[in-house]
Amino acid sequence: MTQLQVYTGTGDGRVYATAVATWSTARDATGSTVSTTSINNFPGATLSAGNYTIRRCLMMFDTSSIPDNAVITSASLRITRYSVSGIGNDFVVGWTSNTSLTNSSYDKANWALSDTIGHTNYAALFPMSEFVANGTQVNKSLDLNYIDINKSGTTYIGAVDLADFNNSAPAGVDILGIGAGDNVDDAYKPQLTVTYAEVCGPWDFEFDVISGIETTATARIQKAFTKTQTARATVDDWDLVGTVSGNTYTYSDTTANASTNYQYRIRAVTNGIPSTLITSTRNIEFIRTTAVSRIVNVSTKTQPACSRISKVFTKTQPAGAYVIKLFTKTQPATAKIVAKPLNGLVLAINF
């Protein structure tokens, strides 16, 4: 399991409707004030001098580093008490459609609010009773059914007074102040913790392309020559696949297909290029041995974001055999590409 811990960004804040005569009007009002630069926030609902004020808060967390293939197993939110008026208030956190705050963000439709007292469709409840003093930190598990952790961007979490959430009018000026993203002390900033596991698979070891199978002559012709030819066959059907010049001994075959066994042969040419490799002329001398010197740029058909594929090229028994193994982060190296000398050389792709 992997954990991501991230503080809320400095764009967090609150939007509120102030001094509204009736509770129902206050809940359905348009916002009158926005604050996004304060060191604290107030998810609260109060009654003062016969008027209601409701504050709705937005928190934002950069969760873009979570891999696309991750399965989120749990999340929690840590909130720190900054201040309190009266006896304070309970508040809840959950879904919000807001990604920034303006007066229109106050609209009730933008928050996970209910018109039913006792409604519990929130991600977490933060009771005032647990915030025993300024600086007290309360950490709550989040119900992932009521919050959307965004693996490709920012996760937005709304915080509202429980009275506002349940449509239950408050009786006084009781409000809890919590730390915000602009606080210079990280201990006061809301912190989101996301636990996840990368899911790698099911693995698909079918290869689309093997580019760069390099054939190299390991014994030189004791005569002058101007070119080296490489031929490839799947059974006995030999085809010329490439020619290199200037006493070069290595050719890179970039046309090999997936899941196919190949044999390779190399020969030296002094004059001209014959049409087949199985017809000998006085100008042709076969190089005694052929080897696959390396296989490069092996790509899988399906390569999840969490795959860690490395290529190890080591000489093994019998003499002249080479093995390439593909490793993954979470799976033993059971898939491998094997090259063995057999009737020249066979490149075998085994799964």
User: How many Cα atoms sit within 13 Å of 256 on the Cβ side?
Assistant: 32
For residue 252, what are the contacts with CB-CB under 8 A and spacing of at least 6?
A: 212, 213, 214, 242, 296
Decide if pLDDT at 222 tops 70. Answer: no
* pLDDT at residue 171, as a whole number: 93
* Angle, alpha carbons 330-334-337 (nearest 5°): 120
- Among the residue ranges 38-47, 196-205, 266-275, 276-285, the one predicted with the least confidence is 276-285
* pLDDT at residue 268, as a whole number: 59
Q: What is 33-90 written as a DSSP string?
A: EEE-S-SEE---EEEETTEEEEEEEEEEEE-TTS-TTEEEEEEEEEEEEEEEETT---
The dihedrals phi and psi of 88, each to the nearest 5 degrees, come to 80, -175
Q: Which residue has the higher pLDDT, 269 or 85?
A: 85
Instruction: Give the three-state DSSP class for 254.
Output: coil
* pLDDT at residue 255, as a whole number: 65
Q: Measured between alpha carbons, how far is 126 from 88 in angstroms, rounded to an integer?
A: 11
Which residue do the tokens 């959950």 mark? 94
Q: Is 165 in contact with 262 (CB distance < 8 Å)?
A: no
Token couple for 37: 């630069």
Q: Is 168 in contact with 296 (CB distance < 8 Å)?
A: no
- The neighbouring-strand residues paired with 154 are 62
Decide if pLDDT at 225 tops 60. Answer: no
Query: Confidence class of residue 121 from pLDDT cuts 50, 70 and 90?
Result: confident
Kindly report the average pLDDT of the chain as a whole number. Answer: 73
| Average of per-residue pLDDT across 122-135 | 97
* pLDDT at residue 274, as a whole number: 42
| Average of per-residue pLDDT across 75-100 | 96
Q: Which residue has the higher pLDDT, 20 or 301?
A: 20
Q: Measured between alpha carbons, how far is 322 from 296 in angstroms, rounded to an integer?
A: 13
Distances (CA, A) of 248 to 84, 164, 242, 252, 263: 82, 80, 12, 11, 20
Q: Residue ranges per domain, the chain?
A: 2-198, 204-350
* pLDDT at residue 85, as a whole number: 94
- For 204-350, CATH number out of 2.60.40, 3.90.550, 3.30.1490, 1.10.357 equals 2.60.40
* pLDDT at residue 116, as a whole number: 75
| Average of per-residue pLDDT across 328-336 | 35
Decide if pLDDT at 347 tops 60. Answer: no
Q: Measured between alpha carbons, how far is 15 from 106 in angstroms, rounded to an integer?
A: 6
Query: Confidence class of residue 239 from pLDDT cuts 50, 70 and 90?
Result: confident
Distances (CA, A) of 280 to 81, 284, 298, 325: 89, 6, 35, 38
pTM, two decimal places:
0.61
